Structure 1
Amino acid sequence: MELFNKILIKGAREHNLKNVDLEIPRDSFVVITGLSGSGKSSLAFDTIYAEGQRRYIESLSSYARQFLNMLEKPDVDLIEGLSPAISIEQKSTAGNPRSTVGTVTEIYDYLRLLYARVGKVYCYNCGRPVDKQSSDQIIETILNEFDEKKIQVLAPVVRGRKGHYKELFQEIIRDGFLRVRVDGELKELIDDFKVDRYKTHDIEIVIDRMKVNSTSRYRIRQSVEVALNYGNGNLIINDGDQDYWYSRNFACAHCGIGFQELAPNSFSFNSPYGSCPECDGLGEKKELDVNLIIPDMEKTINQEGLAPLGKPRNIWFFNQLESIAEKFGFTYDTPFNKLTDEQWNILLHGSKEKIPFKYTYGGGRTVTYMHKFGGVLNYIKHYYDNTSSGKIREWAESYMNTKTCSTCKGGRLKKESLAVKINDLNIADVTFLSIEKCSQFFKTLKLTGREEIIAKQILKEITSRLEFLINVGLDYLTLDRRASTLSGGESQRIRLATQIGSQLSGVLYVLDEPSIGLHQSDNVKLINSLKNLRDIGNTVIVVEHDRETIESSDYIIDLGPEAGEHGGEICVRGNTE
């Protein structure tokens, strides 16, 4: 082989390698095979990868090197022809609970961008679309949608609030308006007009009534401007059958709920601008489990039935509990399964009223206090939320289970972000889909002409990355799957798909048995992915036992003849022919 077309190794003695001399073709798909312990990893990872990575790090500035771990120089006389090396081993991704398949592959970053640019905002309270329109846009919509129809232009001034609003009606009369709509009914205004102050009301001023046609543009403009002014940027058009809401604010015209302008960080569960405030963007919470706190319902308090607290003793909690038991008619010898619903609720959740408690100090002095009893659950939660002690937190967590967040339903985002949808799915709904279904969703996505122009490049990145994951046999995963729950093989194939998506060239990739656990059909896809990585100008070295992978390679290196001290020699090398 010519010098620039090969990796030249002389005198490799790392671990059990026995002075190995070897030439490996560059820009090829190379398989290193052999018995377990024969020296495959010593050659691939501890010699070739280690030296490639070490040389790359040495080429960086001293400032950059201080942030990187320098690998030791392998025991080898000479290695030439190396490229910057990337190792993709079979190991699980770090246990960061915020790391998901979507974030690791960067697909979620593109999803955030897509939803920020073409997502449709809906009110999380009433489900109506939230639009921000200029006065001119509202006027054009009225002319187009209500042509030759009779309409009423209404200005909403009160939404779901109590009061008699006598002063408001007087002000409306002074401004020259004759009619209002109260709770859906038209009313003529008189001097002493008022409504029931103890009921909630919706009140709108009737600004104008007209028939829409091409000659009514000026009148519509005047009415719209007046209605928007009185309605604080909102107006209603009623055509006799139903109401149509319009707003020049980025807010729900019906509920009056304001929304922030969309940005990518609105959909980031790692940012306070997007994360669910209840679970802090984790999608789940630790909650106390009564079955762990009271594991045996037949036991009593005296029998240490309250597992976190043990035997009753002279501490503030048990002094409170003793008074509670006396007041509500049970004792420390009452089995938990004999407690009434009221007694059970008081024991767990506490009392709303203040109750007298007796506390005996060390000197024998007894004092009575009036205090609310917080209950067993709140007692443990108080320590969990306020302690800085790792041991106390560990104690409290031993009586907790992890449950899906009841606020975001596992979506990790605040309700405003989850109310943004594309084709009826919010961003969390998309991450709940399998990668195969997610790919189908984006391939059949229907957008308007303007939205297609905006989303074209974003969709290209999303669909290509999804396709890479499918091609390495990961079509069954979901984008919200925690990276820490992936197997070593799944993590390796995800990193492989990410590298394919990065389209790097001139790189040396070293992989450790990527075919483990794959179905035959998925193995073919994996092999094709490795070949694609080679075809864009990379050297791919794979430690592998799979026969199909070996037969599909460009070059084979067989180490042996046996394992351990009886291995470390090149038995066979050459192309598959």
Structure 2
Amino acid sequence: MSAARSQDKGDAVIRLVGASVNNLRNVSLDLPKRALTVVTGLSGSGKSSLVLETIAAEAQRLVNDTYPSFVRNRLPHMPAPEVQSTSGLTFTAIVDQRRFTGNSRSTVSTASDLAPLLRLMFSRIGEPSAGYSPAYSFNDPAGMCPECEGLGTVVDIDVNELIDPEKSIDEGPVRFSQFRPGVYRWKRFAYSGLFDRGKPLKDFTEEEIRLFLYADKLKLPNPDPRFPKTARFDGVVTRMRDVYVKNRPSKMSPLVHAELERLTTRRLCPECDGARVNAAARGSLIGGTSIVDWSAMSVNRLREHLESVKDPRVAPALAGIRHTLDALLSVGLGYLTLDRESSTLSGGEAQRVKIVRHLGSSLTDITYVFDEPSAGLHPADVERLNELLLRLRDAGNTVLVVEHHPEVIRVADHVVDMGPGAGSDGGLVRFEGTPEALLTSGTVTGQLLSTPLELRRTVRKPRGLVRVVAASAHNLDGFDVDVPVGVLTAVTGVAGSGKSSFATGELPRQHRDFTVVGQDPLHGGVRSMSLSVLGVADGVRRAFAAASGLGPEWFSFNSKGACPSCRGKGYITTELAFLDDVATPCDACGGERFNPTTLEATLAGRTIADVLRSTARTVVEVFTDRPDVADPIRWLERVGLGYTPVGQSLDTLSGGEKQRLLLARHLSASRGFGEERIVLDEPTAGLHPSDVERLDTLFDELVDAGATLVVVEHNLRVIAHADHVIDIGPGAGENGGSLLFTGSPSRLTRHGKSLTGKALARAVSG
């Protein structure tokens, strides 16, 4: 019987039958266990729907179901994905590109689990000892700096900006909406009985001003009857520090957030000078260096420094630190310092830190799911990434990777290619097999991978040059370089070499006619979408209004058209106290976000909800007679976002998608013509090679129309297509920041010291 079971294929595969999540079209397939499987295909073809929203989601749901009801009721309740049956699922760990959302108390050291080991080291052999491990933690009262409470910075309230001395209490002297006349916090000082409410603050005595601003839990001698009977009085500044500075609310309106930015200033803590820990922890040394010194070192430097630390009392901790540092080096993060706040890491950097946390795990037979782990990585770093993926596989785990990068696909044991197109044109398995078989499969992915890259045959001649002098932002070493005008320039180098510091920092700082279209967060979340970013949402609403007789506000889920149950969100959020909030689709509108009256109105046979679910091509067809709507939306296709619904919430877009959306807005506003000078920061992030080629075509059109493009890129298709390359390196962090090369892509392939040049030469030779 056991022999028969060992031959049962079902024991060796993850089996899906009839998966129909999102655009998947009744997909059935077997994925081998304890193997590295790469799922590829065009952007929007259904890769993530298959791996993340079907396999990973169902595995997590089934694991949650194994817990006792007491625990289960406190976990997020995930609906079963649309799939007829699954088998062979194991415990699944998702390593995605979501950025760390922790506050300033989360650093690379804490996120990588190095912090406990560092504290243990210093508590054992640091001299003089500050005490047990907590005495070295900036997150513990025993170790944190008492002045900044472990944050490294202090926030000052600008009293001159906060207070209008010309106004009385009744007139509202506090320039902060949370203290405006009539609200709860205004009533606290208005009914305190301490002040003449009709007297301007400039006429207050020194004692009255002190109490009004800085009183702390003062027992009131004669308060107004409307003042809470058991409460104590706090001054305005004291109350602001307690509520908005020390314990800043996790949920604040954009208005309140903007007000606080105006009213507060942040500076290094004068007590610890940003070190976060108290004097005892700062004074405890190992070989003349403190835990603050270790945390301020880059991973590279700390790894070298530890070679001189040899003490048998801490050998296990020292081995653990070295192991984790080696893992960070292996994923190309040697330039990071351990004290860097984790929330400042990019999505790709955050994902690689998460990978490191799994490498030392003793658990086996886990399914690891990676969502485009090569994003933001130089080709040289992708080789090290592949080694990590193979290490996880060889430890007895199943590794599923959603990926476009050719080098990741080539090391896979099994490849699944989704397609044939994106959105409603995708959702089918076009190929299953080995990487070698993919090359001759005839799919779009196979054709592109089997064809060597071609360098631009004839580079354009620049119309002129702009000179960047003494580039020294961050790790740049002060080099001078000329940037050609009227051509496509690629700025290259390994991750952390200084590419973005140069292209998005020094270049536009010295030459203000360069516009940076970067990956900075777009303002707006679940209530903002591509239509609103492009500025055509009002045009869509007016068109529906004209066709239905209703007002335009009826076609906004932020106004009269909102579903009354979910208030236009499309889901209901349940707060679970100390656990993450749980969002479930709204039963009243079925996730449509609009009320019944709005959903009865149609335009060209479609409701407003139908339009928001549609991709750019469909929306252009609906609004073909409205160029004010159709023309801006056409840019979504041209920048590689043709697969995304025009009503997709901004908070669900990746960094690369947001950047391409900003590019579409910029080109739409300027009509894509003129002698503009644009800087793009890794615009191909998350794109299939075919979509990269489409973006290359767009770049050509813009440059031929007179634009100057400077593109920070790792993607070899963009680099090969460029007229000019500026290569920065040779390494990352303190090992980078130097100008290695300037010239054409063909010359770069012959540059012996450039890692970019070597990778490009390999890709061109096939």
TM-score by length of 1: 0.61
Change (3 A) 1:46 1:363: closer
In structure 2, relative to structure 1, the CA distance for the partners of 1:314 and 1:384 (3 Å cut) is: closer
Residue 290 of structure 2 corresponds to which residue in structure 1?
Answer: 426
Partner residue in 1 for 2:88:
81
Mean alpha-carbon deviation: is it higher for 472-481 or for 108-117?
472-481
C-alpha separation between the residues in 2 aligned to 1:368 and 1:29? 73
8 Å Cα contact 1:279-1:412 kept in structure 2: yes
Summarize the Cα distance change of 1:369–1:568 in structure 2 as closer, same or farther, 3 Å threshold.
closer
Aligned residue for 2:44, secondary structure, equals coil
Q: Corresponding residue for 1:43?
A: 50
Distance (Å, rounded) in 2 between the aligned partners of 1:16 and 1:310: 57
Q: Tell me, in whole angstroms, the C-alpha distance in 2 between the residues paired with 1:527 and 1:481.
A: 26
1:99-148 residue CA offsets vs partner (Å, 9 max, x unmatched): 11111111010000010001111xxxxxxxxxxxxxxxxxxxxxxxxxxx
How many residue pairs get matched? 378
8 Å Cα contact 1:383/1:393 also seen in 2:
no
| Cα shift readout 1:257-277 (whole Å, capped 9, x = no counterpart) | xx86x2001111121111110
- Contact 2:169-2:198 within 8 A present in 1 as well: no
The structure with more strand, counted as a fraction of residues: 1
**Deviation for aligned residue 1:369:** 5.8
Q: CA deviation at 1:23?
A: 0.9
The superposition leaves residues 155-204 of structure 1 with CA deviations (integer Å, 9 ceiling, x where unpaired) of xxxxxxxxxxxxxxxxxxxxxxxxxxxxxxxxxxxxxxxxxxxxxxxxxx
Task: Map 1:328-407; keep pairs closer than 5 Å.
Answer: 371=207, 383-387=236-240, 395=259, 398-407=262-271
CA distance in 2, matches of 1:552, 1:496: 18
Kindly indicate whether residue 167 of structure 2 is the aligned counterpart of residue 308 of structure 1.
no
Q: 2: CA distance between counterparts of 1:368 and 1:81?
A: 75
The SS at the match of 1:114 is helix
Over 3 Å counting, the alpha-carbon distance change for 1:371 and 1:558 in structure 2 is: closer
Matched, 1:265 2:134: yes
SS of 1:27 mapped into structure 2: coil
**What secondary structure is seen at the aligned counterpart in 1 of 2:409?**
helix
Give, in whole Å, the separation in 2 of the partners of 1:93 and 1:389: 24
Provide the rounded CA distance (Å) in 2 between the counterparts of 1:571 and 1:318. 67
Q: How does 1:266-285 map to 2 (within 5 A)?
A: 266-285=135-154
CA-to-partner distance for each residue in 1:484-530, whole Å, 9 max, x for gaps? 11111111111111011224211001111010111111111111011
Post-superposition Cα deviations, 1:232-260, rounded to whole Å, max 9, x if no partner, equal xxxxxxxxxxxxxxxxxxxxxxxxxxx86
- Superposition TM-score, scaled by structure 2 size: 0.46
Q: What does the per-residue CA deviation read over 1:33-89, in whole Å, with 9 as the maximum and x for residues that have no partner?
A: 000111000000011101111111112222222332132211111211111011111
Q: Deviations over 1:316-370 (max 9, x none)?
A: 9999xxxxxxxxxxxxxxxxxxxxxxxxxxxxxxxxxxxxxxx988599xx9967
C-alpha spacing 1:315/1:504, structure 2 compared with 1 (3 Å)? same
Q: Which runs of 4+ in 1 moved over 4 A?
A: 314-319, 359-364, 367-379, 387-397
- 1:549-574 CA-to-partner distances (Å, cap 9, x unmatched) read 11111110000000111111011110
- Structure 1 distance, partners of 2:30, 2:12, is 10
- Asked if 1:55 corresponds to 2:62, the answer is yes
1:516 aligns with 2:375: yes
Q: Distance in 1 between matches of 2:78 and 2:199?
A: 66
Unpaired segments ≥5 residues, structure 2: 1-7, 174-194, 216-233, 245-251, 437-766
How much does 1:313 deviate?
Answer: 3.5
Listed as ranges, the matches of 1:123-522 within 5 Å are 262-288=131-157, 307-310=161-164, 312-314=166-168, 371=207, 383-387=236-240, 395=259, 398-445=262-309, 447=310, 452-522=311-381
Per-residue deviation at 1:27? 0.5
Cα distance, 1:382–1:479 mapped onto 2, change above 3 Å: farther
Partner of 1:99: 106
Give per-residue Cα distances to partners, 1:264-321, cap 9 Å, x unaligned: 01111121111110000111111246xxx7xxxxxxxxxxxx54334723569999xx
Answer whether contact 2:168 2:198 (CA < 8 A) is retained. Answer: no
Change (3 A) 1:368 1:378: closer
CA distance in structure 2 between the aligned counterparts of 1:521 and 1:550, rounded to whole angstroms: 15
Aligned to 1:29: 36
Question: Which deviates more from structure 2 when the two are superposed, residues 482-491 or residues 30-39?
Answer: 482-491
In structure 2, relative to structure 1, the CA distance for the partners of 1:573 and 1:369 (3 Å cut) is closer
1:288–1:377 Cα contact (<8 Å) kept:
no
Evaluate the alpha carbon distance shift between residue 313 and residue 52 of structure 1 in structure 2; reply closer, same or farther with a 3 A threshold: closer
> Residue 535 of structure 1 corresponds to which residue in structure 2?
394
2:38 is the alignment partner of 1:13:
no
Rate the CA distance shift 1:374–1:58 in 2: closer, same or farther, 3 A.
closer
Partners of 1:75 and 1:368 lie apart in 2 by 68
Identity of aligned residues (%): 35
1:475–1:369 CA distance, 2 compared to 1 (3 A): closer
Cα distance in 1 for partners of 2:326, 2:135 equals: 27
CA distance in 2, matches of 1:385, 1:573: 64
Q: Which residue of 1 aligns with 2:404?
A: 545
- Which region of structure 1 is more displaced relative to structure 2, 399-408 or 431-440? 399-408
**C-alpha distance after superposition, 1:396-426 (max 9, x if no partner):** 6522222121211211111011100111111
* Superposition RMSD in Å: 3.2
Contact 1:102 1:479 in 2 (8 A): yes
**2:313 match: secondary structure:** helix
Paired residues of 2:138 and 2:149 also in contact (CA < 8 A)? yes
Contact 2:419 2:428 in 1 (8 A): yes
- Rounded to whole Å, the distance in 2 between the matches of 1:106 and 1:313 is 52
Which of 114, 120, 132 is equivalent to 1:113? 120
Q: Distance in 2 between matches of 1:74 and 1:501?
A: 31
CA contact (8 A) 2:213 2:238 kept: no
Letter in 2 for 1:504: L
Contact 2:168 2:199 in 1 (8 A): no
Structure 2 match to 1:211: none
Unaligned 5+ runs, structure 1: 122-258, 294-305, 320-358
Larger Rg: 1
* Maintained 8 Å contact 2:170/2:198: no
CA distance in 2 between partners of 1:75 and 1:360 (Å): 66
Shift of 1:382: 5.6
**Change over 3 Å in CA distance of 1:368–1:108 after alignment to 2:** closer
Q: Cα gap change, 1:67/1:470 in structure 2, threshold over 3 Å: closer, same or farther?
A: farther
Task: In structure 1, give the amino acid aligned to 2:364.
Answer: S
> What one-letter code is carried by the residue in structure 2 that aligns with 1:494?
V
Q: Structure 2: how far apart are the matches of 1:280 and 1:100?
A: 15
Distance in 2, Cα, partners of 1:98 & 1:363: 43
